Structure 1
Amino acid sequence: MRKSCFTEAQIIGMNKEQEAGMATAEVCRRHGLSLATFYKLKARYGGMEVSEAARLKALEDENSKLKRLLADTMLDNVVLKDLLGKN
């Protein structure tokens, strides 16, 4: 996934500006992003605080690391089964 130009704190700040009553188009114009991008970020970070977003990022990183470990282990299993099956 492509890295965002904005930090989690900036995204949450944009969401709070919009929730405080500023027009969505005005928030997008001030920060230089499209409406579609704004709504995509709002769907992901809406209702969060900065600490919660940091925790989410840490959990996603840990999850991807565990998925890689599982894939490596499964690949090792397949290789060992092939070696044992051919002998």
Structure 2
Amino acid sequence: MNRQKRHTPEEIIRLLREHEGSGLSQEKFCQQKQISVQTLHRWRKKYGQMDETDAKRLKALEKENAELKKMYADAMLGNKILKEALEKSCKRGSAS
């Protein structure tokens, strides 16, 4: 199987800057770096105006966002469990 390499945002930004300064055509540059032209366009769209510190900050924010989403999901699950327990408790109390 052909395994794709994952580039870090910092590597992507370095590659974009390298392409800007190389004077090579997109096709030649992509061929040398073994990436597709479509990948280069996608990277430019996402990371084109960033520098490496911006990319590190983006990565940290994405990690924080994922943690917050997990915390929210856990809180909603806990809330649902408490609500169900309260409903069962109320039904038992009114049945007596």
**Which TM-score applies when normalising by structure 1?**
0.85
Matched position secondary structure for 1:85: helix
Q: Which residue of 1 aligns with 2:42?
A: 40
Count of residue pairs brought into register by the alignment: 85
Structure 1 residue ranges, 4+ long, deviating more than 3 angstroms after superposition = none
Aligned-pair Cα RMSD in Å: 1.7
Tell me, yes or no, if the aligned pair for 2:10 and 2:56 is still in contact at 8 Å.
Answer: no
Tell me, yes or no, if the aligned pair for 2:9 and 2:56 is still in contact at 8 Å.
Answer: yes
**Which TM-score applies when normalising by structure 2?**
0.78
Identity of aligned residues (%): 38
- Partner Cα distance (1:24, 1:78) in 2: 53
- Partner Cα distance (1:42, 1:74) in 2: 38
Mark the runs of 5 or more structure 2 residues left unpaired by the alignment: 90-96
Mark the runs of 5 or more structure 1 residues left unpaired by the alignment: none
Q: Cα–Cα, structure 1 residues 25 and 50, in superposed 2: closer, same or farther, change >3 Å?
A: same
Q: Cα–Cα, structure 1 residues 85 and 4, in superposed 2: closer, same or farther, change >3 Å?
A: farther
For residues 1-87 of structure 1, the aligned pairs below 5 Å read: 5-20=6-21, 21-87=23-89
